[in-house]
């Protein structure tokens, strides 16, 4: 399973209505984090579970869902997290 597939599987716990994962790792070849094997990703997620929560709480929910991937497979993650009524 590729890292984007693993990310998608882990984030299923947040019941996303839409989920876009962009792998930007190639842009960071030679970067210190890339040398250790961690990729760079851009994530846009829409979930009802984000409704009424501030940005920091939404990001924490994403980090919690990804768990250990944030220490190994993912070096950098740019997150846009929305509730459905914000789109």
pLDDT in tens, the chain (87 residues): 889 999 999 999 999 999 999 999 877 666 665 556 678 999 999 999 999 999 999 999 999 999 999 988 998 999 999 999 998
Q: What is the pLDDT of residue 36?
A: 60
Task: Please state which CATH number belongs to domain 3-86.
Answer: 3.30.300.90
Instruction: Please state the pTM of the whole predicted model.
Output: 0.88
In sequence order, what are the residues at sequence separation of 6 or more whose Cβ sits closer than 8 angstroms to the Cβ of residue 10?
65, 66, 67, 69
Q: What is the pLDDT of residue 47?
A: 98
What is the rounded distance in angstroms from the CA atom of residue 83 to the CA atom of residue 87? 7
* CB neighbours of residue 31 within 10 Å: 14
Q: What is the pLDDT of residue 25?
A: 86
């Amino acid at each position: 399973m590729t890292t984007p597939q693993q990310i998608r599987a882990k984030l299923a716990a947040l019941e996303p209505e839409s989920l876009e994962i962009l792998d930007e790792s190639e842009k960071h070849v030679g970067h210190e984090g890339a040398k250790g094997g961690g990729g760079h990703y851009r994530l846009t997620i829409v979930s009802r579970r984000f409704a009424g929560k501030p940005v920091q709480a939404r990001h924490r929910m994403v980090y919690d869902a990804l768990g250990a991937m944030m220490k190994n497979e993912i070096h950098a993650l740019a997150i846009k997290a929305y509730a459905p009524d914000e789109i």
